[in-house]
Chains A and B, each alone.
Chain A
Amino acid sequence: SAVISQKPSRDICQRGTSLTIQCQVDSQVTMMFWYRQQPGQSLTLIATANQGSEATYESGFVIDKFPISRPNLTFSTLTVSNLSPEDSSIYLCSVVTDEGYTFGSGTRLTVV
C-alpha cells in the first residue's frame, strides 16, 4: 500500500495564525483527502484535493478557512487559517489505492 509522510506531527499555534500541513505520497495518486478528527469524534472529511483543479469541499468547510494545494500527483498541503481554539484537532490526509485507503500519521494541532 502507499506510504504517506505527513508533517508536522504536532504543533501549538497562537490564535489568529495559520498552520500548513504537508503530505507526501510515495506513489502517484489521483485523489488525496483531508480529514479532521476532533477529540472523541469520528473522522470528518474536509475536502478532496484533485491535481489540476480546485479542491472539493464538504458542507461546513470553506476554501478561505482551509485552503488546499495539490501541485502534483504525490503532494498536497492543507492550511488551517485564522486559528481559533475550536480548530484544535487532529488533521489527517488520506489516499486511495488498489489496496484501499491509507492515512498519514496525522497532525495534532493545539491552538492557544
Chain B
Amino acid sequence: RKEVEQDPGPFNVPEGATVAFNCTYSNSASQSFFWYRQDCRKEPKLLMSVYSSGNEDGRFTAQLNRASQYISLLIRDSKLSDSATYLCVVKGNNRLAFGKGNQVVVIP
C-alpha cells in the first residue's frame, strides 16, 4: 500500500462551483499534514497546513480525520486560477511522503 494515495482525476469544475477531494495515508504515526499546490512545470508550493481541528484559508478548507487516516481539501467558488495539481503531503519520522496529486481543471 502506498504511503499517500490520491485520486489523480482530473476534476473538471465549473467556475464558481465547489470541489472537494480526499487523500488517505497509511502511517498512523504521521505527525503533520499539508496541502501543496503544483502548477504545470513548476515546483510545489505550500497551500496550507492541515490541523486536527480543521482550518480555513479564504476559499480553501482543510480537514484531518486521524481515525480514518485521511485529509481533505475543499475549494469554494472556484476560480480559473485554481487550476493546478494539489499534492497531499504527510510528514512522519522526519520525512515527507507525497501523493501523486489531484488535478483540478476549472472550466469557464
Decide if B17 is an interface residue (CB 8 Å cutoff).
no
Q: Tell whether, in the assembled complex, residue B100 and residue A106 are in contact, meaning their CB atoms are under 8 Å apart.
A: no
Q: Indicate if the CB atoms of A42 and B101 lie closer than 8 Å.
A: yes
Listed stretches B62-70, B71-79, B91-99; interface member: B91-99
Size of B's binding interface in residues, CB under 8 A:
18
Cβ-defined contact, B4 with A103, below 8 A: no
Number of A-B residue pairs with CB-CB distance less than 8 Å in the complex they form? 38
Contact B98–A101 (Cβ < 8 Å): no
Those of B12-47 within 8 Å (CB) of chain A: 34, 41-46
- Check if B95 sits within 8 Å of A41, measured CB to CB: no
The answer to whether B43 touches A92 (Cβ under 8 A) is: yes
- Whether A103 pairs with B101 at a CB distance below 8 angstroms is no
Choose from A45, A102, A104 the contact partner of B95 (Cβ within 8 Å): A45
In contact, B96 and A45 (Cβ under 8 angstroms) = yes
Task: Check: A100 CB closer than 8 A to any chain B CB.
Answer: yes
Q: Does B55 contact A (CB under 8 A)?
A: no
